[in-house]
Structure 1
Amino acid sequence: MADNLAHRQSFNIMIVGQSGRLQYEAVLFAASLRHSAPAFSGRLFVATPQPGPTWEKNPTLRNPEVLHLLERLGAEILPFESLAFGQNYPYGNKIEALLSLPPDEPFVFFDSDTLITGDLMSVPFDFSRPGASLRCEGSWPKPTLYGPGIGEIWKSLYDRFDLDFDSSLDRSQPEGYWRRYLYFNAGYFFGACPVKFGQRYLEYATSIQGAPPPELVEQTLDPWLDQIALPLVVHALGGGRDVLPAGYLDGNVSCHYRLFPLLYAREDDSVVDLLERVAAPNWIKKVLKNHEPIKRLVYQGRGAKLRALIDRNNLPRREQALRNQIKSAGFWIR
């Protein structure tokens, strides 16, 4: 194992950070990376959008305490321009920021609401075959009563970009079932060159948004646009659903918790222990306590009280049902 790790290719990491909630999530991501993966040999970029006509307010990460803390944790601030998306579709940050990363260097993007829980250098990435998170529900598309069906909807997108639809299918799954079709959560994805990946991602996303195929006429694109375009990009660049063994990302090495009430409600004890451990040092706590969800759930102990109310051996199948359960108990905060 040591020899394999010694020869494993170095790569960069990108997350997005801006004013508001994401800046505190970025701090926790960086702290968890340094704690759990001390052998990580790449660069950690915190991409932050610059003010401009696509933003009503200045979105830039500019809190001096947060910036100092990120620097101390070894992160590099990466400014980027929001030309296509911005305020109207902030999920597009992850797409446009890719274009500002060092080209031709392997990369992994993570949503900022992620903790690194294990040795990231142990993940057997093959960056020549891009991939993305399979921890998802069948959130898109939602076929209507009179059609078109889910297969016709996806095929129209592959046809739009001259991609081979048939080779993307998982034929072990039945027709019309969402898992038959290539679909990812955009919580993480990786590839060989962020600029080439980002250019393709931007091309596909803006084309779908600006002129959806007729088959999408009854479909909602917001907030799903990034997850609609992502499988097309992965497929076009030679990747797929089987490029990483199970159990690493979204497993022993990373946790995409999404929101802190969800983390306390459903994640393993080891994830909660890690969160509280990396948030404990005073030099980190004095910054993170300014974010109300972290203050209440982590530092004031309400997370433990929420956790005691949830049966993690009998969680609802759908995330929305769990959210409703947390809200009914009076612990929802974001």
Structure 2
Amino acid sequence: MAKKQHPRQAFNILIIGQSGRLQYECLLFAATLRHTNPDFEGRLFVAVPNAGPLWDRDPSIRDSAVLDMLGELGAEILPFENQVFGQSYPQGNKIEALVALPEGQPFVFFDSDTLITGDLTEVPFDFSYPGASLRREGSWPTPTLYGPGYHGIWKSLYDRFGLDFASSLATEHPEEYWERYLYFNAGYFFYRCPKEFGERYLDYARSIRDDPPVELTCQSLDPWLDQIALPLVVHGLGGGRDALPGGLLDGRISCHYRMFPLLYARESDAVIEMVEACAAPNRIKKILKQHEPIKRMIYQGRGQKVRALFDRSALPRREQAIRNRIKAHGFWMR
């Protein structure tokens, strides 16, 4: 059951930017946000890691045209330092950037490969009750033949951090079924204070990476570490699965497309029309077309060829099957 609606509250948005693919995704995010929410009351931060010893090369955005357009779209560049992750685990940027946000101000984090497709004021955020994306598959853990199973693996993590495991379970699902255990996609999450959330997130993720419980011995942490630690943080701060009604984020209001071939394969006509309209102005087009997947998918029509391969009302249940069909026709790009 969803939480009851709370009075509307201004909040900040955080996305992660870097040189290369992410800077173009950030431009599309900002363009779609301004298109669908021209009166957005909060601030849009593009957090960019500084060069440092944890990076082989400078990860910051240095393209002046990209930076100028982000500014024109109302985004603020927020530099931050990597103390723990960096080149070895760039997904950790979403964790380390949180403490650079204004302390005590509610925030929503979105992965940069997201489009804002509707009015964010319709989302009944209760920032005292954190939540995250439920658009996920059972990607972690992968229990082995001789154990431990889902229960033993997840319980070891809750025990590590002194959290109540039993209250996190969705008991309508049977033992050893993955959805019984709290698990999110890290494509969005929110809370009342980025410092409080970020410090806990970093503490948990670093502990799991550096000293995993023995129950995790045969489990891969890369790229799943952010999604392993996230439910522990959300539960530890009093949140859960029912933080938002279904169908809003990762639904009518936002679209986490992840890769451009998947965007064209899965999403509605309205989403495709909106993103193509946002990408059409010449001042944006001349920047975005520097990124090969955007150039081919949006501007050269390859996306429509991908789209013709699928019936949106009867998509394959598993994402891998969608990817495989696109690859079989030579249209995959990332």
Range into which the TM-score falls when normalised by the shorter chain: over 0.9
Residue 62 of structure 1 and its aligned partner are, at CA, apart by 1.3
Cα distance, 1:314 vs structure 2: 2.4
Q: Which residue in the other structure is 2:328 paired with? A: 328
How far, CA to CA, are the matches of 1:306 and 1:148 in structure 2? 41
* 2:196 counterpart residue number: 196
Counterpart position of 1:302: 302
The Cα shift of 1:35 comes to 0.4
Residue in structure 2 matched with residue 141 of structure 1 by the alignment: 141
1:112 maps to what in 2? 112
CA distance in 2 between partners of 1:183 and 1:10 (Å): 27
State the match for 2:129 in structure 1.
129
Encode CA deviations 1:162-189: one digit per residue, 9 max, x unaligned.
0000000000111101100000000000
Contact 2:35 2:278 in 1 (8 A): yes
Q: How does 1:82-231 map to 2 (within 5 A)?
A: 82-231=82-231
Partner residue in 2 for 1:275:
275
For the residue of structure 2 that corresponds to 1:124, the secondary structure is: coil
CA distance in 1, matches of 2:16, 2:165: 31
Aligned mates of 1:318, 1:247 — CA distance in 2: 19
Which whole-Å deviations, capped at 9, do the CAs of 1:58-88 have from their partners, x for residues lacking one? 0001110000000000000000001100000
The AA in structure 2 aligned to 1:301 is: G
Could you tell me how far 1:311 is from its partner in structure 2?
2.3
CA contact (8 A) 1:51 1:60 kept: yes
* Partners of 1:156 and 1:198 in 2: CA distance: 22
TM-aligned CA deviation for residue 206 of structure 1:
0.2
SS in 2 for 1:86: coil
Match of 1:175, SS? Answer: coil
210 and 284 in structure 1: CA distance in 2 versus 1, 3 angstrom threshold: same
Say whether residues 1:67 and 2:67 are aligned partners: yes
> What corresponds to 1:49 in structure 2?
49
Q: Is the 8 A contact 1:39 1:121 kept in 2?
A: no
Distance 2:25 2:253 in 1: 17
The residue identity in structure 2 corresponding to 1:175 is E
Structure 1 residue 6: Cα displacement: 12
SS at match of 2:317: coil
Cα distance in 1 for residues equivalent to 2:25 and 2:163: 36
> CA deviation digits over 1:104-156, x for unaligned, max 9?
00000000000000001211000000000000000000000000010110000
Shift of 1:303: 0.6
**Identity value in percent:** 70
CA distance in 2, matches of 1:66, 1:231: 34
SS at 2:97 equivalent:
helix
SS in 2 for 1:88: coil
Structure 1 unaligned blocks of 5 or more: none
Task: Answer whether contact 1:264 1:304 (CA < 8 A) is retained.
Answer: yes
Moved more, 308-317 or 19-28: 308-317
Question: What stretches of structure 1 move > 6 A for 4+ residues in a row?
Answer: none
When structure 1 is superposed on structure 2, of 16-25 and 319-328 the one drifting more is 319-328
| Residues in 1 aligned to 2:20 and 2:153: alpha-carbon distance in whole angstroms | 36
TM-score (norm 1): 0.97
What TM-score do you get using the length of structure 2 for normalisation? 0.97
Q: Which amino acid aligns with 2:36?
A: S
Deviations 1:245-277 (A, max 9, x none): 111100100000000000001111111111101
Query: Cα RMSD between the aligned structures?
Result: 1.1
Correspondences of 1:280-291 after superposition (within 5 Å): 280-291=280-291
33-42 or 221-230: bigger deviation: 33-42
Residues 101, 195 of structure 2: 8 Å contact kept: yes
Letter in 2 for 1:190: F
